[in-house]
């Protein structure tokens, strides 16, 4: 059933998620958003309240609270787009957006924190929020109860302050700080990996996929590059730390490569890794919802290791959007090369979209597929 109307404590809102699906079964909000807004409505906040909203995935909080001075801090181009689009749908002002690569500054009265799935992003953000809380900002966290465990509580205690979860309401909890704010020197969120098998040193910032090791999907796709034709213009879609595009650029040094990812921290990692491993480069970098808004030249080759989840929801909706966007932005006779788990059935989707699909590599778990845009 398609659900778009959120009856929040701050009024009825029409909200959409990204990627757009005609028969969307997921909401752009959850019970934790509802619980948080209900709690805020009871506080009767002054109209001049300056609010920092963190990790508002689809703009539900920023849209509901648009009558206040709202800033949105997130590591997601989708979050930025949805906050802007949902505000416009409801005749409201979009929040001031701050990418996760920047630290929020100034004085805030209230910090609303939606817990991220990534533990590295949690630690990175809480360290940067601690000084704001020390300066007087009130902190209220929110998450579904199943996502708050002792490890989360311990992370709060070691990074910002002792955390006190509320009683559950509709399987959601709020989180309050209960103790002195930690003022320790911030630790770097970057992690360096020496990948001897591809002769690269890679930097991974917080929230980057497969931050601790080379994932098997990327490994088998890298082993497949020599089966592809040399491109002149290629993209690394869902690039993460940029590994695929960097190895491809070494193999085809005259090709221009464009890196795309939803995560601002991933794009920053890719920039650093290109500089470290390729030196001077004409590479381009874009934080985006798949290839939304891209207006450049079509690509001869698009490499893709797509995510199979969006926040805590497992599904292929982002992969499907990547497939559609890639088809649209490939040159005639251009190639889309994707790796995925065997059971996901990407070959069926690609045959329907491109009219063809070929397996060029596989192991017991992963398959590398190639589809060519023809006609």
- Could you state, in order of their start, the residue ranges of all structural domains in the chain? 5-177, 191-372
CATH code of the domain occupying 5-177: 3.40.50.150
For the stretch 227-264, pLDDT in tens is 999 999 999 999 999 999 999 999 999 999 999 999 99
Residue 43's pLDDT is: 96
Tokens of 252: 């085809």
The predicted structure's pLDDT at residue 309: 56
pTM: 0.95
Comparing C-alpha atoms, which of 212, 195, 198, 202 is closest to residue 242? 202
pLDDT below 70 — which residues of the chain?
1-3, 308-315
In the chain, which ranges are continuous DSSP H helix?
A: 31-43, 60-64, 77-89, 119-134, 150-159, 216-222, 243-251, 264-278, 317-329, 346-354
Same fold, 5-177 and 191-372: yes
Taking the alpha carbons of 253, 256, 259, 265 in that order, is the dihedral positive or negative?
positive
β-sheet bridge partners, residue 54: 73, 113
Secondary structure (3-state) at 31: helix
What CATH number has the domain spanning 191-372? 3.40.50.150
Tell me the two tokens of residue 57: 């995935």
Q: What is the pLDDT of residue 210?
A: 85
Residue 227's pLDDT is 97
- In DSSP terms, 286 is beta-bridged to 260
Q: Which residue in this structure is represented by tokens 């802007």?
A: 84
Among residues 121, 175, 119, which one has the least CA distance to residue 145?
175
Q: What is the pLDDT of residue 168?
A: 96
Where would I find the beta strands (DSSP E) of the chain? 5-8, 11-14, 50-54, 69-74, 96-99, 110-114, 138-144, 163-165, 172-177, 191-195, 200-204, 233-237, 256-261, 284-287, 299-304, 309-310, 313-314, 330-341, 358-362, 366-372
The pLDDT assigned to 1 comes to 34
Packed helices 317-329 and 346-354: angle between N→C axes, nearest 10 degrees: 30
For the stretch 40-69, pLDDT in tens is 999 999 999 999 999 999 999 999 999 999
146 touches 170 (CB < 8 A) = no
């Amino acid at each position: 059933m398609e659900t778009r109307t959120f009856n929040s404590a701050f009024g009825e809102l029409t909200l959409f998620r990204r990627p757009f699906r005609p028969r969307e079964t997921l909401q752009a909000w959850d019970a934790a958003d509802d619980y948080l807004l209900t709690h805020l409505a009871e506080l009767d906040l002054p109209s001049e309240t300056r609010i920092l909203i963190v990790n508002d995935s689809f703009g539900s909080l920023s849209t509901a609270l648009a009558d206040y001075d709202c800033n949105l801090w997130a590591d997601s181009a989708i979050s930025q787009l949805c906050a802007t689009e949902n505000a416009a749908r409801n005749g409201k002002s979009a929040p001031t957006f701050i990418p996760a690569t920047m630290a929020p500054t100034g004085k805030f009265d209230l910090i609303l924190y939606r817990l991220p799935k990534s533990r590295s992003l949690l630690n990175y953000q809480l360290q940067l929020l601690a000084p704001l809380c020390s300066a007087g900002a009130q902190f209220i966290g929110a998450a579904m109860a199943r996502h708050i465990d002792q490890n989360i509580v311990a992370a709060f205690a070691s990074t910002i302050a002792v955390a006190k979860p509320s009683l559950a309401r509709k399987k959601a909890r709020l989180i309050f700080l209960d103790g002195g704010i930690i003022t320790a020197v911030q630790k770097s969120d970057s992690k360096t990996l020496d990948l001897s098998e591809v002769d690269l040193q890679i930097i991974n910032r917080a929230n980057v996929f497969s931050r601790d090791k080379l994932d098997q999907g990327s490994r088998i796709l890298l082993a497949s590059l020599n089966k592809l034709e040399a491109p002149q213009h290629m993209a690394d879609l869902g690039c993460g730390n940029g590994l695929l595009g960097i190895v491809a650029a070494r193999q085809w040094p005259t090709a221009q490569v464009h890196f795309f990812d939803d995560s601002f921290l991933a794009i920053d990692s890719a920039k650093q890794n290109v500089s470290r491993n390729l030196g001077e480069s004409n590479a381009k970098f874009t934080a985006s919802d798949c290839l939304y808004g891209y207006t450049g030249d079509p690509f001869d080759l698009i490499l893709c290791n797509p995510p199979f989840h969006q926040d805590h929801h497992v599904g292929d909706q982002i992969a499907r959007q990547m497939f559609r966007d890639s088809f649209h932005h490939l040159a005639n006779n251009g190639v889309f090369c994707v790796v995925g788990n065997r059971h996901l059935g990407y070959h069926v989707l690609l045959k329907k979209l491109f009219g063809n699909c070929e397996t060029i590599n596989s192991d017991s778990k992963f398959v590398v597929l190639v589809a060519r845009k023809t006609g």
